[in-house]
Amino acid sequence: MNDATANPPKAPPQAAKKPSSVSHHGLTVSDDYAWLRDPKYPVVDDPDILAHLKAENAWFEAAMEGQKDRIDALFKEMRARIKEADKSVPQKDGEWLYWVEYEEGAEYKKWWRKPVAGGPDELILDEVALAEGKDYFRLGAIAVSSDGTRLAYSIDDNGSERFTARIKVIATGELLPDEIPGTLSSLVWVGGDTGIVYSLANEQWRTDNARLHRIGTSTDEDVELYHENDDGFRVGSGLSANEKWLVISTSDHETSEVRLVPAADPLAEPILVKPRSKGVEYEVDVYQDDGSSDGMGDGTLYILANDTHENFRLATAPLGEPDRWSTLIEGSDAFYLTGFDLFRDFYVVEGRQDGLDTIEVRYYGDPARVEPIAFPEESYAAGLGDNPEWAMDKLRVSYESMVSPATTYDYHVAERRLEVLKVQEVPSGYDAGLYATERLHVTARDGTSIPVSIMYRKDRTSPGPLHLYGYGAYGIAIPPGFSTTRLSLVDRGFAYAIAHIRGGDDLGRAWYKGGKLEARTNTFTDFVDVARGLVEHGYTQAGRISISGGSAGGELMGAVVNSDPELWGAVVAHVPFVDVLATMLDASLPLTPGEWPEWGNPIEDKAAFELIRSYSPYDNVKAQAYPPMLVTAGLNDPRVTYWEPAKWVARLREMKTDDNVLVLKTNMGAGHGGKSGRFESLHETAEEYGFILWQMGL
């Protein structure tokens, strides 16, 4: 029994007020809770700060004590919907078939393979063993050498997202002496498997480099292949589809630049595809037929770029003249081109039409031949799965909808036929016929039509309780996918809705731009207007709406509880980005310089300062009644630092005029994603839903 259980607090903690202020552009911002940021961060050992976070955790435990039975019941039903002993569909890569597998009761998975020609199963990585005795575990990168003999992988055991890379001999399990701490990247085998390319996180948790490690040498001898001097850019590496080229990319949220290096000779002079131009994003892959050499003049570049249309075009260029781009697929207002994959005999284009995922097979030299893959429902989420080989005659495809469990297909290209390989099992039972899903539109206050995906039981009585989820940032779309945990609300009479608000790119790049920088507040008003629209459509009533969002979606939660608190019956804000102004004013923080294209730079731009100050949730807490709220944080979170939610809750406690429950739970050994492990993380979802049901009176 811990101290919090033995001596539960009788009242929530009140953070000390220690006045401080900063001034920019002749404007002063006061902050009585700035002291909650440990100046030694990422080390957090200030006794007063730790004492306050532990006091908040104790209050969380005390406040939720009466919901323990409900949470346990929710956890059990959520767990019962998961097939505990489960494995993925094996996929061929060279001479091997690879798959992952969960054993009964295991929090983590095991990685397996077996020879295509026949032979015993071979365990190549055991996450269960690696995680043993650790409070937190996350696998970062994993890559098998091209000859199939060695495995490079990286792990994080505290949630800080600084991964340690290791290399093992698969046949014997021997760990080689090579050990690379502090990585934050993929691991790419190059030079005939003599080395791996990776990126280190610098002190500000930024990947400003691509480095080569020769197997069997000291990391002190590693060679920096590329260094990025712009603090706002991040570097990443990968291989071209035919694995002949190392692709080194650097980008921020609106501009990118790509270099190509022969994978066989990673120390060769890089080929710069096209110098960066502000606002132009592009991605590159290389097509070379099987008979071509690796010469610099041989082959064709395929380039996805937004230089002529914000919804991107697909262009080609000779490898020897990489900046001479010719359009292959024009950009379009109607079709948002999100990605492409090259294969030996065809290529695949992915995008969204009217917000719905589209996959098209196309053919080299025959631009008129376009073969879209047809899917059975009107609202769904679909995409290419793992297709590791250059020569493919069938494609692995994933599919789901809000009422259809995740399905794995093989798409037989020549026959244009989908073959079902696996449908997600729900062991406790699931009947899709009991549920309905709709895609409707709500008109926002500026006349914009906002899509909403919604599901509910067909026997639901309306208006009833409704849960509304939103994100709305970074051009990240929220697909209308399947969730077994969601059923715990829906089966209790909730409708579950996803608001496809501006700031995401659900409807294309203009949709993203419509919720960033000067247009940022559209994201918040869209969400409120969707909620009011769902009330007008008879799905629910004001005050009967629970809402949730995390990270930038947590910022959304903070903004809408300030603006329209009476709408919400319960609010869950996960690792919320709520101290927007202070974070964007601090260039030393890990993400800040790279975030300025998303939010604006309040250091240099007075208008950006004033706009961010006008909506930053922490800066706009006021003396009013707030709905019941559950807030989470991660002590080791490098994305949304722990003090943002801690400060926000402290100011809410000071200012709010109601007696509604407000609790803060800080994971003291985890980061941005909360607890690791499939069941540990499930318990946190059970806590979230338990809080919602409690506060909604259900």
Tell me, yes or no, whether 697 and 578 share the same domain: yes
What average pLDDT does the chain have?
Answer: 94
What are the structure tokens assigned to 650, written together? 């402290």
Residue 60 lies in a domain: yes
Query: DSSP letter at 241?
Result: T
Tell me, yes or no, whether 393 and 512 share the same domain: no
Residue 253 lies in a domain: no
- The residues, any chain, with a CB within 8 Å of residue 291's CB and separated by 6 or more, are none
pLDDT tens string 255-303: 999 999 999 999 999 999 999 999 999 999 999 876 544 444 579 999 9
| Pair 35, 16: CB distance under 8 Å | yes
**Percentage of the chain exceeding pLDDT 90:** 89
Tell me, yes or no, whether 466 and 403 share the same domain: no
Tell me, yes or no, whether 534 and 623 share the same domain: no
pLDDT of the residue at 593: 87
| Pair 9, 59: CB distance under 8 Å | yes
pLDDT tens string 4-56: 456 889 999 999 999 999 999 999 999 999 999 999 988 999 999 999 999 99
Query: In 300-346, at which residue ranges do the beta strands (DSSP E only) sit?
Result: 300-305, 313-318, 326-329, 335-342
| Pair 664, 56: CB distance under 8 Å | yes
Q: What is the pTM of this model?
A: 0.91
Tell me, yes or no, whether 698 and 580 share the same domain: yes
CA atoms of 138 and 157, how far apart (whole Å): 6
Tell me how far apart the 2 most distant CA atoms of the chain are, in Å.
Answer: 76
More confident residue, 189 or 355: 189
Which range (233-237, 588-592, 615-619) has the least confidence? Answer: 588-592
194: left (phi over 0), alpha (psi -120 to 50) or beta: alpha
Tell me, yes or no, whether 356 and 462 share the same domain: no
pLDDT tens string 505-517: 999 999 999 999 9
pLDDT of the residue at 368: 92
Ramachandran angles phi, psi of 172, nearest 5° = -105, -15
CA atoms of 645 and 634, how far apart (whole Å): 9
User: Final residue of a domain: which of 491, 519, 541?
Assistant: 541
pLDDT of the residue at 677: 73
User: Final residue of a domain: which of 541, 566, 592?
Assistant: 541
pLDDT tens string 93-134: 999 999 999 999 999 999 999 999 999 999 999 999 999 999
Residue 47 lies in a domain: yes
pLDDT bin (cut points 50, 70, 90) of residue 205 is confident
Residue 443 lies in a domain: yes
| Pair 581, 612: CB distance under 8 Å | yes
- The residues, any chain, with a CB within 8 Å of residue 303's CB and separated by 6 or more, are 273, 282, 283, 284, 314, 315, 316, 317, 325
Tell me, yes or no, whether 529 and 599 share the same domain: no
Asked if residue 42 has a cis previous peptide bond (ω within 30° of 0), the answer is yes
Residue 136 lies in a domain: no
Residues forming beta bridges with residue 23, ordered by sequence position: 28
CA atoms of 698 and 695, how far apart (whole Å): 8
- The residues, any chain, with a CB within 8 Å of residue 598's CB and separated by 6 or more, are 253, 473, 474, 516, 517
Q: Is 691 helix (H, G, I), strand (E, B) or coil?
A: helix
| Pair 595, 654: CB distance under 8 Å | no
Residue 217 lies in a domain: no
pLDDT of the residue at 4: 46
Mean pLDDT, rounded, for 418-422? 97
Question: N- to C-terminal Cα distance for the chain?
Answer: 30
pLDDT of the residue at 590: 77
- The residues, any chain, with a CB within 8 Å of residue 260's CB and separated by 6 or more, are 240, 245, 246, 247, 248, 270, 271, 273, 284, 286, 319, 322
Residues forming beta bridges with residue 259, ordered by sequence position: 248, 272
H helices, E strands: number in the chain: 13, 39
The number of distinct structural domains making up the chain is 3
pLDDT tens string 30-39: 999 999 999 9
Residue 688 lies in a domain: yes
Per DSSP bridges, beta strands 138-144 and 122-126 are unpaired
- How is 458-470 classified by DSSP, letter by letter? TT--SS--EEEE-
Tell me, yes or no, whether 591 and 534 share the same domain: no
- How is 490-501 classified by DSSP, letter by letter? HTTT-EEEEE--
Asked if residue 115 has a cis previous peptide bond (ω within 30° of 0), the answer is no
Residue 611 lies in a domain: yes
Mind telling me the catalytic residues?
A: 551, 637, 672
pLDDT bin (cut points 50, 70, 90) of residue 204 is confident
pLDDT of the residue at 360: 98
pLDDT of the residue at 425: 97
pLDDT of the residue at 296: 44
CATH number, residue 514: 3.40.50.1820
User: Final residue of a domain: which of 541, 560, 589?
Assistant: 541
Tell me, yes or no, whether 697 and 592 share the same domain: yes
313: left (phi over 0), alpha (psi -120 to 50) or beta: beta
pLDDT tens string 672-696: 555 567 888 899 999 999 999 999 9
Query: DSSP letter at 90?
Result: P
- The residues, any chain, with a CB within 8 Å of residue 612's CB and separated by 6 or more, are 580, 581, 584, 599, 600, 602
More confident residue, 581 or 253: 581
In this predicted structure, the answer to whether residue 420 has a pLDDT above a threshold of 50 is yes
Tell me, yes or no, whether 533 and 650 share the same domain: no
Tell me, yes or no, whether 419 and 499 share the same domain: no
Domain that holds residue 352: 334-426
Tell me, yes or no, whether 617 and 652 share the same domain: yes
Which CA distances in Å does 269 have to 187, 194, 259, 263?
Answer: 21, 18, 10, 12
pLDDT of the residue at 588: 87
pLDDT of the residue at 675: 56
In this predicted structure, the answer to whether residue 636 has a pLDDT above a threshold of 90 is no
